[in-house]
Structure 1
Amino acid sequence: MRSKKDDRKKTTGKRLWVYIGKSKKLLLTAFLFSVIGNTMGVFTPLLMGKAIDKIAGAGKVDFPALRTLLLLMLLLYLVSSLFQWFMSVLSNKASNNTVRELRGDAFCKLNKLPVSYFDRHPHGDIISRLTNDIDSISDGIFQGITQIMSSVVIITGSFVFMMIISPLITLGVILVTPLCFFLASFIAKHSRRMFRMQSSLTGELNGYAEEIIENQKLVMAFGYEEKVAAHFKEQNEKLYRAGQKAQWYSSLTNPTTRLVNNIAYVLVTVAGGILSLAGRLSVGNIASFLTYSNQFAKPINEITAVASQIQAAFASAERVFALLDEEEELDRAEPFEELAECQGNVEFCNVYFSYKKELPLIENFNLKVKKGSTIAIVGPTGSGKTTLVNLLMRFYELDGGHILIDDKDILHVRKDELRKSIGMVLQESWLISGTVAENIAYGRKEVSREEIVNAAKAVKAHGFIMRLRDGYDTIIEEDGRNLSQGQKQLLTIARVLIMDPPMLILDEATSSIDTRTEIKIQEAFLKMMKGRTSFVIAHRLSTIKEADTILVLKNGNIVEQGDHKELLRKKGFYYTLYHSQFSS
């Protein structure tokens, strides 16, 4: 009975071959060059034997024939090397094409995965699958293709010429060969598990390293350097042990197969000597046969020598295909409805949601928002504030109930159209590596410089942009390292403003901006929110006084609802929250 691991191994091989098969023309041409090059190489031992036979003894050398044979051997070696070089170039190109397709599909897959996938998996591990694992596949494919192509021709050619020279000795060589395959297969079976573990631990280590590097200031601020180093050392040691075991198993293959081949080589030498004494083989034939027997075994040794790379490639391929097999964020309900003239009327109807089924968060949630209203959402940490807007954006799917926009269930609206209708400013500012202008225009395909400048002026960002080295053409470094946190946030706000969406979500949008700038930003927000349905999540309650409705959440439910003055008069939960910030 086949195990699941065997099935997975076969499936991985088939799927990898689908990608390799996209370069069929290159592979067929490379194989043709391999056939030509290696066939010429296989002929040379036969010529070498004939050349040896031309040297009968002192004064008995046929120099003209010897010269002709040696020149022919030189020509065959040169042409063989040239064609093998062509074969190597083409197979390398086929390998690069394969991993380019695979990496492209893997990256495109990331754009189709739900937010929950990125919440569950360390980002370093995901990056490792797109870089280290695919590089490992590239190395394994290139080595495997070149070795297999050459091996087929060399083994076939060597076998034919050995049969021509001496069928009897050839039979002895053939009987020893299966032992090499058995040993290689036995060792590869045990090393594959260790290579799979090595790939997995590499991803974990990369994830941890990325986490620490991104938050190095906090590590230093809390004096956590020694603990971080100790934990990294522990994980690194696990990876080292897994790598050592994988390499130890795979390193056994080449020596063991060479041992068997050397024993066969000795037996061939002895048998050839006996046949020579009996007058059935010439010295040249014995030399040719020994070379052919060595060539016959060499491809097997070379394949086993790169077995570790091939095993690592398969282990990495399993991790990449596991990513490609993840369930995508799909539009499931049809037919779809259009949101072309979105007004911004929003309604939550009996909504249920939880990140884990055993831990309910939002239960029977109901809310009706009229177009153009500003809804502020407040409450303690973990009360479900951000979850509500995540559900509205369909970053997560409901467990029950419905969310309607203009009386249309968002399940019947395409996700890209839904999200284009909502401008979102998050607490964490994210910028691309590009110019300031490109970052502001990120959400629109075609936009003029004038529109970019107007958006920047509206959010009070124009001043600091003009003080930058190249103004709007200043290149922003990776993750905005050459800007302050407040400046980055201003650019993200301008990016949403230029999209001109009918609805807005501001999730702690001013949390990284100083109080003085925040006052100016609030003025820009008021202009931007005018006529738009807006959801504002805020911990600073002073920023939401002008909201039409304030929702006070606790444990996923609305405990209070009303405007600022009304909620203060009630002296309930909101009253307590507000005065905890302004107790003086």
Structure 2
Amino acid sequence: MNHKNKQSLLFEPMDQKIVFRRLLSYTKPHLRWLTIAFFLLMLGTGAQILGPILIKIFIDDYLTPRIFDFQPLFLLAAGYLGLHFASVAITYVQLFLFQKIALKIIQQIRIDVFEKVQNLGLAFFDKFPTGGLVSRITNDTETIKDLYVSVLSNYVQNIMFLIGVFAAMFYLNVQLAFFCLFLLPVLFILMQLYRKLSSKFYAEMSEKLSQLNAKINESIQGMTIIQIFRQQKRLRREFETINDDHQKAWLKSIKLDGLLLRPAVDFISIIALILVLSYFGVTSLNSPIEIGVLYAFINYLDRFFEPVNQMMMRLSIFQQALVSASRVFRLLDHHEVSPEKRGDGQPKIEKGEIEFRNVSFSYDGEHNVLKNISFKAKKGETVALVGHTGSGKSSIINLLMRFYPGVKGDIFIDGVPIDHYENDELRKKMGLVLQDPFLFVGTVEENIKFYNDNLTKDDVVNAAKFVHAHPFIEKLSGGYEAKIGERGSTLSSGQRQLLSFARTIALNPSILVLDEATANVDTETEGEIQLALEKMQMGRTTVAIAHRLSTIKDADQILVLHQGEIVERGNHSELIEQGGLYHKMYLLQQGDREEIESVTTSEYVNTVDKNT
């Protein structure tokens, strides 16, 4: 299945019966408390059902024949009040139990979704907007919570109550009770009609809400660019368009709710009341009727439609929850996970020697971004990757970190195919330093310990000293306990980079991967960072992407990439002597105009194209 088909499945609705059964499966760990809650529910329902029967006994056996013996009347009154208070107490306890179970279930669903997202492959995040993911983890799970808290417990309670009402009706008048049974198919058809029509609207609402979250997330992350280029009005128009579509979907559902929910049920209840009164009216012409029976039957009829109304009013929540659950389960069922280990054994990375052998790769399965890449890096050596934007440098690192599947060719670490290693082993033995280091909200110490929470304070301090981060950390208010804002916004770019170095060195990796580690720092700070990098690289296999060629002069091997292929390789001196693409790039950065003008970039590119 190609990437497009995989992505489209994330947005397709699932069969609602399957979704509902799957939601119910989350109740299995809570069967004991559910059983207790159901038992209490039956007791509470029985207490509510018996009330009108006691009133019927009072009217027909005491009020109509005018018998006012104190003791039986007192017992009837005490029984009626006792049933009422018992019903209130039991209802409170059983509702508390149902909702407690519901909250535990939704807590588990949220954990499942979050865990799933954490284990999805990077290819998934390349295509799925962050805001849409946030919407599924927060908004959709919150809607599912409403299903468990507000709907299921209410439905169970009302269904039990309806069963009790019909039992009482049959006790009072079998013929009329059979007549009332015909109301059930009518109400069932009404519910099915509502579910069928509303599912489309709620699916559209959920999707538009995801788009709203995605637009908000994108706007906040790109706020600097938006304000620099004064695009606030354009972003507002785009947001307004999505928001308007969301509102229209809501209005459609409101119109449907206004027609098929309470008004429709109220109309059916009025017709039922007219027919019941007509029945008793016709019956009274031929034989006397008991007033108590008439009162109890009308009371039960009224009580019959109240739970029906409650169920119908919550049907919209039920429908929204099923749509949201469908979206959540689609995410949980998505199989675009990180590449996993293959083969037997538990190999360990010791030296950290790397070999790429005829490696080709495509993100979309159609266009290769890497073509027959081959190179070796021994322990303690530094291999630098240079080339124009889009030449494939980052793709090589992505494959070395085993972020993407579908690699053609072989990648070895210590002579063992990379797919024979556990993910934990790879992540423990590889240290990654990015161009724009990502720091998390928390303290300086927590960020340095992020890869290994078992580190002691001394380990953290030693790692910071190793990369020359200790002096600036001590100057922060709070030192290692200083709070860091989102993405390290309270620190300079150089300070963020030094902290990322400390975090990496605390891991003590065998392989060091540097992705433009000095690209975003000033010249003065670059000197400190370069010293830190030199210390970090000692005794480790290093693969570094660099735009500043001055930072890789001492690399053991430099690979020059062009359109996904290695077109030149060697150390700095050898590549300068070759007078090829690397030489031209170096002259451009050094600003030697006379030499630059002697040979144009196009000549180098043409030469490269001929060689490849």
> TM-score when scaled to structure 2?
0.91
Q: Which residue of 1 aligns with 2:3?
A: none
Deviations 1:173-218 (A, max 9, x none): 1123211111111111111122122112211211111111122121
**Cα distance change, pair 384–310 in 1 and its aligned pair in 2 (3 A):** same
Aligned with 1:376: secondary structure? strand
The 10-residue stretch of structure 1 (535-544 or 69-78) with the greater mean CA deviation from structure 2: 69-78
Is this contact kept in 1: 2:369–2:395, CA < 8 A?
no
What is the distance in 2 between the residues matched to 1:441 and 1:260?
66
**Alignment equivalent of 2:113, drawn from 106, 129, 134:** 106
Is this contact kept in 2: 1:337–1:408, CA < 8 A?
no
Deviations 1:348-380 (A, max 9, x none): 111110111222211111112222111111111
**Cα displacement (A) at 1:115:** 0.8
**Alignment equivalent of 2:497, drawn from 489, 498, 501:** 489
What is the distance in 1 between the residues matched to 2:12 and 2:241?
29
**Alignment equivalent of 1:571, drawn from 553, 569, 579:** 579
What is the distance in 1 between the residues matched to 2:288 and 2:548?
100
Is this contact kept in 1: 2:262–2:312, CA < 8 A?
yes
**Cα displacement (A) at 1:409:** 0.5
Whether 1:336 and 2:345 are equivalent positions in the alignment is yes
Q: Which residue of 2 aligns with 1:288?
A: 296
Is this contact kept in 2: 1:112–1:329, CA < 8 A?
yes
The 10-residue stretch of structure 1 (192-201 or 302-311) with the greater mean CA deviation from structure 2: 192-201
Is this contact kept in 1: 2:463–2:505, CA < 8 A?
yes
Q: Which residue of 1 aligns with 2:597?
A: none
Whether 1:150 and 2:160 are equivalent positions in the alignment is no
Is this contact kept in 2: 1:141–1:310, CA < 8 A?
no
Q: Which residue of 1 aligns with 2:134?
A: 127
Q: Which residue of 2 aligns with 1:312?
A: 320
Letter in 1 for 2:345: F
What is the distance in 2 between the residues matched to 1:32 and 1:478?
50
Letter in 2 for 1:40: A
The aligned runs of 1:411-450 (5 Å cut-off) are 411-450=419-458
Letter in 2 for 1:429: P
Aligned with 1:233: secondary structure? helix
What is the distance in 2 between the residues matched to 1:254 and 1:20?
30
The aligned runs of 1:392-541 (5 Å cut-off) are 392-541=400-549
Deviations 1:499-525 (A, max 9, x none): 111110010112232110111110111
Is this contact kept in 1: 2:338–2:404, CA < 8 A?
no
Q: Which residue of 2 aligns with 1:216?
A: 223
Letter in 1 for 2:169: M
What is the distance in 1 between the residues matched to 2:400 and 2:535?
23
Aligned with 1:111: secondary structure? helix
Q: Which residue of 1 aligns with 2:143?
A: 136
**Alignment equivalent of 1:367, drawn from 364, 367, 375:** 375
Unaligned runs of 5+ residues in structure 2 are: 1-10, 593-612
Aligned with 1:524: secondary structure? helix
Identity of aligned residues (%): 35
- Give the alignment's Cα RMSD to 1 decimal: 2.0
Letter in 2 for 1:12: V
Aligned with 1:396: secondary structure? coil
Deviations 1:308-364 (A, max 9, x none): 111111111111111111113252521134124x21221111111011122221111
What is the distance in 2 between the residues matched to 1:189 and 1:422?
53
Q: Which residue of 1 aligns with 2:101?
A: 94
Unaligned runs of 5+ residues in structure 1 are: none
Is this contact kept in 1: 2:121–2:338, CA < 8 A?
yes
Is this contact kept in 2: 1:336–1:414, CA < 8 A?
no
**Cα displacement (A) at 1:6:** 9.4
What is the distance in 2 between the residues matched to 1:442 and 1:103?
23
What is the distance in 2 between the residues matched to 1:116 and 1:42?
58
**Cα displacement (A) at 1:579:** 2.0
Aligned with 1:365: secondary structure? strand
How many residues are treated as equivalent by the alignment? 579
What is the distance in 2 between the residues matched to 1:576 and 1:280?
111
Is this contact kept in 2: 1:276–1:282, CA < 8 A?
no
What is the distance in 1 between the residues matched to 2:170 and 2:95?
30
Aligned with 1:361: secondary structure? strand
What is the distance in 2 between the residues matched to 1:250 and 1:367?
66
The 10-residue stretch of structure 1 (313-322 or 210-219) with the greater mean CA deviation from structure 2: 210-219
Letter in 2 for 1:385: K
Is this contact kept in 2: 1:37–1:79, CA < 8 A?
yes
The 10-residue stretch of structure 1 (472-481 or 357-366) with the greater mean CA deviation from structure 2: 472-481
**Cα displacement (A) at 1:66:** 4.2
Is this contact kept in 2: 1:436–1:473, CA < 8 A?
yes
Letter in 1 for 2:420: H
Q: Which residue of 2 aligns with 1:191?
A: 198
What is the distance in 2 between the residues matched to 1:88 and 1:434?
39
Is this contact kept in 2: 1:88–1:146, CA < 8 A?
yes
What is the distance in 2 between the residues matched to 1:582 and 1:387?
27
Q: Which residue of 1 aligns with 2:385?
A: 377
**Cα displacement (A) at 1:62:** 5.9
Is this contact kept in 1: 2:135–2:210, CA < 8 A?
yes
**Alignment equivalent of 2:559, drawn from 545, 548, 551:** 551
**Cα distance change, pair 63–259 in 1 and its aligned pair in 2 (3 A):** farther
**Alignment equivalent of 1:256, drawn from 255, 261, 264:** 264
Is this contact kept in 2: 1:155–1:296, CA < 8 A?
yes
**Cα displacement (A) at 1:443:** 1.6
Aligned with 1:442: secondary structure? coil
What is the distance in 1 between the residues matched to 2:413 and 2:190?
66
Letter in 1 for 2:275: L
Aligned with 1:561: secondary structure? strand
Is this contact kept in 2: 1:250–1:307, CA < 8 A?
no
Deviations 1:280-326 (A, max 9, x none): 42111101000112222332222111001111111111111111111
Is this contact kept in 1: 2:393–2:545, CA < 8 A?
yes
**Alignment equivalent of 2:239, drawn from 232, 242, 249:** 232
What is the distance in 1 between the residues matched to 2:109 and 2:277?
49
What is the distance in 2 between the residues matched to 1:563 and 1:123?
41
Q: Which residue of 2 aligns with 1:37?
A: 44
**Cα distance change, pair 548–116 in 1 and its aligned pair in 2 (3 A):** same
Q: Which residue of 2 aligns with 1:166?
A: 173
What is the distance in 2 between the residues matched to 1:33 and 1:15?
25
Deviations 1:35-74 (A, max 9, x none): 00111001001112233343339x8766664444233212
Deviations 1:114-147 (A, max 9, x none): 1111111111111111111011001012223222
Aligned with 1:498: secondary structure? helix
Q: Which residue of 1 aligns with 2:606?
A: none
What is the distance in 1 between the residues matched to 2:106 and 2:54?
42
Is this contact kept in 1: 2:143–2:321, CA < 8 A?
yes
Is this contact kept in 1: 2:13–2:327, CA < 8 A?
no
Is this contact kept in 1: 2:212–2:239, CA < 8 A?
yes
Q: Which residue of 1 aligns with 2:251?
A: 244
What is the distance in 1 between the residues matched to 2:373 and 2:231?
42
Aligned with 2:63: secondary structure? coil
